[in-house]
Amino acid sequence: MLSAAIHLLRLARAGFVLAREGVFALVDAAVLPPGPRLALRLVRLIERRNAGSGSARLASALTRLGPSYVKLGQFLATRPDVVGQAISRDLETLQDRMAPFAQGVAETAVAEALGKPVAQLFASFGPVVAAASIAQVHRAEIDTADGSRSLAVKVLRPGIERLFQQDLDCFFFIARLAERHSEEARRLRLIATVETLARTVAIEMDLRLEAAALTELAENTKNDPDFRVPAVDWQHTARRVLAIDWVEGIPLADQDKLRAAGHDLVRLGRVLIQSFLRQAIRDGFFHADLHPGNLFVDTEGRLVAVDCGIMGRLGPKERRFLAEILYGFITRDWYRTAEIHFEAGYVPPHHSIEDFAQAIRAIGEPIHDRRADEISMAKLLTLLFEVTALFDMRTRPELLLLQKTMVVVEGVARSLDPTLDMWTAAEPVVREWIERHLGPVGRIEDAVTEIGSIGRLIGSAPALLTRAAGTIERIDEQTRDGLVLSPQTVEAIGRAEARRWRWTTLALWVIAGLFAVWLLR
């Protein structure tokens, strides 16, 4: 009871901040019943006069509420199925910037995490250079055999785990309350949504996992000439501290500096699109937070990505789905594009492929009558998911994350080159994957893989037969002197037998009575 009261108090504070910042102005009062409509009008009496636009209101309110709400807003930006397209777009503008914590606090946290004083760990440990909801970054130097090495050291905010847990408990409380009383909340699976947020935050708060993601992404892209991620310094990395090579480069958002340094912005836009698609389609592991603040251009003209706290994964089925979908739209093969949805199991088989192909054609044909720079691949994916909803396609979180990342990537690429032809940029990557995996070489490799699976099954046959023989022997031992049943089972069988014998006895008495009547005739 006390816990519920605490949650209600925290939610009341959150509601006051949301009302004060004018967030409730985004609610359409016309669709509400009279009671809630009146409550909405009363709540709006306390909002600030200069609350600003919808996106500004949301961003301001969530920033004031603290790190947990900022992270919630960023997460819900990837779930338009929960909050709707309009609010999702507003939340995309939310910047993860918070006031930094003190230098001394950061140095103490680093010393505790790495087990040595900062002076022994680093030749120098500079002031904060960036601060976000979960952590902040410092520039540091270490001595090496070749001289010195510059590092970016990421440090978790003190007490952030406890703060997030308190707010997550509130989110769970309101989700359970909503699902208990609302069919729509149950359909949207609000509890499962909060659980996903909780898992995402838990991963982000263990910086060793981000280090592992950086390392995996570096291995996947080591042969890509135009993209890289900084190397991890594992000696100075722990659960609450992450050290990577300092990136000497120009932020992608600073286009004036990029031009002054002689970088080709048109090429950079194409590189960004192709790098993202290679990660998603070729590797099945993509950076899912590619906003300009996480992207730099180094002296060699390569794109450098940092902050791998949010990553997306696609399995082989999803990668094939994405590649063939894009290729189907490029080649205008609508029937094959529809087939892919059915083969992947995304659309239930009771629907018609022909009808679904017709729906996809309605999306795809208009794009071929427009200029390339007017075609939005991200909007295309959004429309595609809206159409598939009409055909009972279940929400796929990994595809939603892919879609939202595509929205961000496309926006950044178009800021570099407003006339960027998304399809021309994407075609080489998609065609290479199609030829590699669905062509003759790919089919031979699939056959070899299948043969290998059969070989492993045959190789494990003796062990399977041994286990089966052992199981049969144990069953034989247990039933040799009669099958031993639990008391509950025996009691249940006894009750069933008693009922059966009662009816049998009654039937015998009826037969005997009828026989006696027949004898006395």
| Domains delineated in the chain | 2-96 (no CATH), 97-161+202-246 (3.30.200.20), 248-463 (no CATH)
Per-residue model confidence (pLDDT) at position 454: 55
Per-residue model confidence (pLDDT) at position 201: 83
Per-residue model confidence (pLDDT) at position 282: 92
Contact 88, 76 (CB under 8 A): yes
Q: If we measure between CA atoms, which residue out of 80, 443, 410, 384 comes closest to residue 277? A: 410
- Record the pTM: 0.71
Q: If we measure between CA atoms, which residue out of 174, 232, 249, 169 comes closest to residue 201? A: 169
Give yes or no: 245 in active site.
Answer: no
Q: If we measure between CA atoms, which residue out of 326, 323, 352 comes closest to residue 339? A: 352
The catalytic residue among 289, 307, 421, 481 is 289
Q: What is the mean pLDDT of each run of 10 residues along the chain (521 residues)?
A: 71 78 72 75 76 67 80 72 67 73 95 95 94 91 90 94 87 86 76 81 89 96 94 96 95 93 94 93 91 90 92 85 77 82 79 86 71 62 67 65 79 86 81 75 49 55 62 57 51 55 51 50 51
Q: What distance in Å separates the CA atoms of residue 381 and residue 325, rounded to the nearest whole number?
A: 9
Q: How many CB atoms lie within 10 A of CB 144?
A: 9
Q: What distance in Å separates the CA atoms of residue 85 and residue 269, rounded to the nearest whole number?
A: 26
Per-residue model confidence (pLDDT) at position 271: 94
Exposed e or buried b for every residue in 369-386, given b needs 16+ CB within 10 A? eeeeeebbbbebbbbbbe
Q: What distance in Å separates the CA atoms of residue 193 and residue 484, rounded to the nearest whole number?
A: 46
Provide the residue type at 117 as one letter.
Answer: P
Contact 197, 75 (CB under 8 A): yes
Q: What distance in Å separates the CA atoms of residue 107 and residue 125, rounded to the nearest whole number?
A: 8
Per-residue model confidence (pLDDT) at position 483: 46
SS3 content of the chain, % helix, strand, coil (to 5): 65, 10, 25
Per-residue model confidence (pLDDT) at position 464: 57
CA of 460: how far to CAs of 450, 452, 469, 470, in Å? 15, 12, 14, 16
Contact 330, 309 (CB under 8 A): no
Contact 402, 384 (CB under 8 A): no
Q: If we measure between CA atoms, which residue out of 410, 381, 409 comes closest to residue 322? A: 381
DSSP 24: G
Strand pairing partners for 249? Answer: 298
The dihedral region occupied by 312, where left means phi > 0, alpha psi between -120 and 50, and beta the remainder, is beta
Q: How many CB atoms lie within 10 A of CB 435?
A: 12
Provide the residue type at 122 as one letter.
Answer: F
